[in-house]
Amino acid sequence: MALNKLYNETDILNKVAYGDEKAFAKLFYAYYNQIGEFVQGLTQDHEVTAEIVQEVFTKIWMDRHALRQVKRFDAYLFILSRNHTLNHIRQIVAERNKKEAYLSEIELIQPVVETKSTSDRYELIDQAVKLLPPQQQQVFTLRRQGLKNPEISERMNLSIESVKKYQHLAVKFISEFVKNQISISTF
């Protein structure tokens, strides 16, 4: 990414490093669109691009004292923008994977109980939940309430891996329980 350098950039960077807001505004307006084009090429999303570019400039302002040691601001800005963009993309992918994993766990239960009425389904699931070991029961209940693994981990003082394991075991048990109850009731 080749940036069009700002005239007297070194002076402006020094002023920003000492907290000059007008100098920061010059820096911001000089590079905002250039960085935006780069980030937009990676994200293909205008809202995400605006958010990332805003984060980049917020970081520059928050760490402005470091600007005194920056020799090539264009390289510094490129690396900062690239890292924020990649972190954002990683976060989106991780969230998508978590959501897909949760939905696939729920799908293990759903097809089994399709033949029952809604109230019967919930009743069977509730019966199965009551039979779970306490930690699996609590993890499943908290996930059912919409909490995410990190929140459950913090609330229960467990590792995130333990939360995932308990959720997986709970869904597996519930699925088997419901299947068995349906086969028993069809005889």
This prediction has a pTM of: 0.55
Which residues, including other chains, have CB under 8 Å from residue 6's CB and lie 6 or more apart? 12, 26, 27, 30, 31
Residues 13 and 89 in one domain: yes
Tens-place pLDDT, residues 93-129: 887 777 776 666 666 555 544 555 556 767 888 888 8
Q: Are both 81 and 120 inside the same structural domain?
A: no
d(CA 105, CA 100): 9
Tell me the one-letter amino acid at 25: A
Q: Tell me which residue range forms the domain holding 47.
A: 9-93
- What lies within 8 Å, CB to CB, of 32 at 6+ separation is 53, 57
The reply to whether 102 falls in a domain is no
* Residues 19 and 75 grouped into a single domain: yes
Convert the pLDDT of each residue in 16-72 to its tens digit. Answer: 999 999 999 999 999 999 999 999 998 888 999 999 999 999 999 999 999 989 888
